[in-house]
Amino acid sequence: MLMHESSILTLQKAMEEGKTTSRELTLSFLKRIAAFDKQGVNINAISEVNPDALHIAEAMDRERAVSGSRGPLHGIPILIKDNIATADGMHTTAGSLAMADSYASVDAFLVSRLRAAGAVLLGKTNLTEWANFISDHMPNGYSSRGGQVLNPYGPDVFDVGGSSAGSGAAIAAGFAVAAVGTETSGSILNPSVRNSLVGIKPTVGLISRSGIIPIATSQDTAGPMTRTVEDAAILLAAMTGNDEQDPATGRSIGLARSDYQSCLDKDGLNGARVGIVRSRYLAKYSQEEQALYDEAITVLQESGATVIDAVKIPTEEANWQNAVLIHEFKSGINAYLKTLPADFPLRTLKDLIAWNQAHESQALRFGQVLFEKAEQTSGSLADAAYIDARLSDLEMSQTHGIDAVMNEHQLDCLVFPMSEGASIAARAGYPSVSVPAGYTKEGKPFGIMFTGKAFQEPTLIRFAYAYEQKSMKRMAPSLLAE
């Protein structure tokens, strides 16, 4: 059994049968991180390892022996993106040198949920700095604190994706069983398709935003990044729940599930009406990649789906702006900084900008134009420009966008190449699920993305699983040192 390629349930069964332990799993992943992350191939996906990881694993083993398993995540090593707060021996930095000495006071709500499920928090993953909201031209996977993350399928060749680059590269490279990423607009889905993973970007409010370093309260969410749809469904269920500190989670009452495994149906595409999006989204890809998309569409048809080809989102050609993100960032980051221990010196976005300027050679390799634009706003979210932009985004992405095309063709979901269309779904707050869909001759991963309306995660998971089981496209990368 290859531990680094095994599923959650496979490893859970092995632990139940006494064939391995959480301690042995944790040691195995730590050895793999040591071999490939900062030496060998030098993937550079891990920002730091949890000093208590082995202690947690041993505690989970002891608990299993005394009182049994808590559930599918009991003793399973999980990695967390380094913009998600953990009140332990690990920093929470968003990849920023300015935040290098920052410790969170309280676990993010989703972290407390994972701890309660018995997961072993193995460490934090590197990311595109500030979740790619500091500069308008920062490379995917780069941070001033952590350096550049590489794609295990083609180090220094293929784009690793962003901003959850470390989470994507780490799971592709077998550094843990699963990882948590975050997304404002494409940051789970993009690194997932580029690292041949399953990524779930949930409906905003399905998973609490509490304790996540924010960009935009209207679009931010966390989500699973795994090697299989089944693993993603298990991890998603563990993180959902109503959080009194996050009003958005109130939207999910009665809609969130404690079990998404029940959605896993090999025949789940039978009878589905699926809209295939091509138009401008597909034009940027090579003929070989377009052929992989066509092959995926054929699999959907062979799985019993009714395919409505070449549907067009009415607003896909709109001149989308990032005004909402610019305005929401200042109030969000100022609020987060105030939750840090009183002795942390940086308390506002203005402080961060000044610190970066004082350490320009190390901290501002790609500038901070987005920080500066955000600082120029009032921070009150009362600006007419902000309110108009937010209302426009909702109308264009929902009413005249995804809702319009799905209603017109009576669709159960939309399918995009790679993570194209992630931004319009992000503005709508709608869910998407990415699945591996093959590789080019050079070994570059290709994926497809299922998108639906709010809280349609069960439907999307069912479709993604049926496609995955029919196609079985994912292959592990061949790390050079293996």
**Cα 288 to Cα 195: distance, rounded to the nearest angstrom:** 18
- Asked whether 315 and 393 are in contact (CB, 8 A), the reply is no
Structure tokens belonging to residue 101: 């000495």
Cβ-Cβ contacts under 8 Å for 143 (sequence gap 6 or more): 94, 95, 96, 126, 127, 128, 129
DSSP reduced 3-state for 158: coil
**Cα 68 to Cα 62: distance, rounded to the nearest angstrom:** 9
Q: Which strands form 432-439's sheet, in the order they lie side by side?
A: 46-49, 120-125, 77-81, 178-183, 221-226, 198-201, 432-439, 445-451, 413-417, 273-277, 306-311
Helix axes 229-239, 109-116, angle to 10 degrees: 110
Degrees, nearest 5: CA angle 221-387-368 = 60
Helix (H) or strand (E) segment spanning residue 298: helix 287-302
- Which one, of 96, 104, 136, lies nearest residue 121 by Cα? 104
Query: Looking at the annotation, which residues are catalytic?
Result: 81, 163, 187
Strand bridging mode 147-148 / 142-143 = antiparallel
Buried residues in 63-89 as b, exposed as e (16+ CB within 10 A): bbeeeeeebbbbbbbbbbbbbbbbebe
Please list the residues that pair with 241 across neighbouring strands. Answer: none
Degrees, nearest 5: CA angle 132-353-385 = 70
Examine residue 163 and say whether the peptide bond preceding it is cis (omega within 30 degrees of 0): yes
Q: Cβ-count burial of 435 within 10 angstroms (0-12 exposed, 13-18 middle, 19+ buried)?
A: buried
**Cα 324 to Cα 136: distance, rounded to the nearest angstrom:** 15
Please list the residues that pair with 152 across neighbouring strands. Answer: none
**Cα 29 to Cα 338: distance, rounded to the nearest angstrom:** 35
Please list the residues that pair with 77 across neighbouring strands. Answer: 120
DSSP reduced 3-state for 412: coil
